[in-house]
Structure 1
Amino acid sequence: MADPIDTVFSALADPTRRAILSMLLEDDMAVTDVAEPFAMSLAAISKHLTILTRAGLISQEKRGRVKWCKLQPDAMRATSVWMQSFGQFEPVNLDAFERFLAAELPDGTGQG
């Protein structure tokens, strides 16, 4: 069985699936409404939805004749916690680094 974090990252790797998740941030949507803005078949959208469902990022349920999609934000919790562990590193300030290099290597060649 794949690591849940791997499954989430794999699902998020595709721009169509990320766009679908963004759409579902607003509200639950019928599958046909999810498919509307994309230039692909309903079958192709269904494959994307299946991947998102397997990753736990969305749920799908049938209401009458219509299949609805709903965002499951808790599925990203473990992934988010994992990513936040990298927040302990300070971002590199390239301007400060450039000033440091200029002060240490005044001729700009790196030779001193």
Structure 2
Amino acid sequence: MTLAIVAEPAPLQANEDGVILVGKTRVTLDTVVAVFNQGATAEEIVYRYPSLNLADVYATIAFYLKHQSEVGAYLQQRRQQAQEIRAMNQARFDPQGLRDRLLARKAQQQA
């Protein structure tokens, strides 16, 4: 019997928003890379995120290690998008104004 060596693609797929997910889960590439960079092993990552498959986590880590510059650029883009969305939300829904309104309502109820 001969062992067939076939390269399998990384278990990564982009959803409709362009967010890269691992395997057939909703766990993002961002999450796996962040936890791995904090020192977690593949087994620890699967323990924290039980919907993940151990083989998929190893393949994702291998993909990350082989493509660190591309993944780094993707993660930087995601951070930038998050900052833009946060700024838009803060502009639309001023947290200071909300706090003032809630305190005024509370004062009315106590009076």
Normalising by structure 2, we get a TM-score of 0.43
Q: Who wins on radius of gyration, i.e. which is larger?
A: 1
Structure 1 or 2: more helix by fraction: 2
Structure 1 or 2: more strand by fraction: 1
Larger RCO, structures 1/2 (Cα 8 Å, 6+ apart): 1
